[in-house]
Amino acid sequence: MTLNKPVWANNHDSDSEDENDYDGYNANRGYWAYSCELMRRWFCRFCQRKKRANVSQMVLVILAFASIAQSYEVQFHTHAGRKMAYRYVAATTPTPAVANILCIHPVGIGISSWFFDKLNADLPSCNVLSPDLRGCGDSEAFVPEEDGMFFPLDWTRQVEELCKELSWGESLPVVILAQGGIAPVALQLGHRGKLENIQRIILTSPPTYETLTKPISADEYGLNYNILTFPGLKQIFTRILMNRGAIKFFSNLFLFSQSADEDFLSKASRDAEQLWRINPVFAFNAGALITRSWEEEIESCGKLGLVIISGEKETEERRLGRDFGSNCTNVILEDGLNVIPWEQSRALASIIMNE
């Protein structure tokens, strides 16, 4: 598989009849990047002929514009017979990349791999891989009435297979980054040992140690899930939650230290337009990832190098509750709350690069 093969190429070259029909929006993003590339080439040829300084400056603008578009390109692979999406952003520095960063996005209304767009820009010397977990973003839907899932094992297997296809970790050290309650996926990736050359695992705003090691019962999870998905109530919850007003309200209340910015709200609202994306959110909020203890995985990942990052705006109780043992490094970032890769991308990039 070619790492940098964009969507527009997939749409023209694929033998799959449903490739063009998958989303529509994905293809537009690919064609947008393609258009930027054509514009860049045209201006470069024009500059070579005219050698005008002002045109050269315009070329630089187009180049920057095209690099921004690159972060929106969605690529696809197949896992367990299902189409899964991911973003790959290659290092942009003249020198070779120094690390591979594997980003696992949180599960929430309208959230997918775009969550790491700001961080991508602050890691120019790294290759960054951000999968859309099944049921999220541009990956195939999770419809519990048709096909069940093992949480979080199926997500973990999805990421492992993608990394294997892309030979992720064969030549460069890998840093795994996971935001919020999706931490068990990162812990499972580290513990299972199927991903090569893991250098560190970084968890931003993860659940407390007690939450991860004292699981809820299967009965409690089942009750929570049945309430959220009860016929009639599910449709009401979905319509209420998956609109811009609700996204803004809950983002300001729980996620941001100040208030959610327009870019975040626009992207989350856009991804929330397809109502089936609520299914993994309901499962996650019901407690699907905390029905077992992760103590063994925490201990195993501590030997690899485990970094826990909290935001200064979080409650002291939550920060103190993230004592994951002597092998764990705890870092507190100023002004951060529950979306550190978005709010504090530059500071987080410095930690990732071990500066």
Mean pLDDT of the chain: 81
What pLDDT, in 10s, does the model give residues 222-277? 999 999 999 888 888 888 888 899 999 999 989 998 889 999 999 999 888 887 88
What is the per-residue pLDDT for 145? 79
**Distance in angstroms (rounded) separating the CA atoms of residues 31 and 29:** 6
What is the per-residue pLDDT for 59? 41
As to burial, measured by CB atoms within 10 angstroms (0-12 exposed, 13-18 middle, 19+ buried), residue 250 is middle
Greater model confidence, 341 or 334: 341
What pLDDT, in 10s, does the model give residues 103-146? 999 999 999 999 999 999 999 999 999 999 999 999 999 888 78
What pLDDT, in 10s, does the model give residues 143-201? 887 888 899 999 999 999 999 999 988 889 999 999 999 999 999 999 999 998 999 99
As to burial, measured by CB atoms within 10 angstroms (0-12 exposed, 13-18 middle, 19+ buried), residue 49 is exposed
pLDDT band at 283 (very low <50, low <70, confident <90, very high): very high
What is the per-residue pLDDT for 190? 96
For domain 86-352, give its CATH number from 3.40.50.11540, 3.40.50.1820, 3.40.50.1000, 3.30.365.10. Answer: 3.40.50.1820
Greater model confidence, 301 or 72: 301
CB-based contact 111:187 (threshold 8 Å): no
Residue with tokens 């002002």: 54
- pTM assigned to the model: 0.79
Residue 351 pLDDT exceeds 90: yes
**Distance in angstroms (rounded) separating the CA atoms of residues 111 and 123:** 21
**Distance in angstroms (rounded) separating the CA atoms of residues 228 and 236:** 10
Quick one: how far is CA 211 from the chain centroid?
22
Domain boundaries, the chain: 1-73, 86-352
What is the per-residue pLDDT for 10? 27
pLDDT band at 335 (very low <50, low <70, confident <90, very high): confident
What is the per-residue pLDDT for 355? 52
Amino acid at 223: L
C-alpha distances out from residue 136 to 86, 132, 140, 192, 239, Å: 11, 6, 8, 23, 17
What is the per-residue pLDDT for 326? 84
**Distance in angstroms (rounded) separating the CA atoms of residues 190 and 201:** 8
> Which uninterrupted H or E stretch holds 259?
none
Residue with tokens 């023209």: 12
Total length of the chain:
355
- Token pair recorded at residue 103: 């980003």
Residue 46 pLDDT exceeds 70: no
Overall average pLDDT of the 44-54 stretch: 47
Residue 12 pLDDT exceeds 50: no
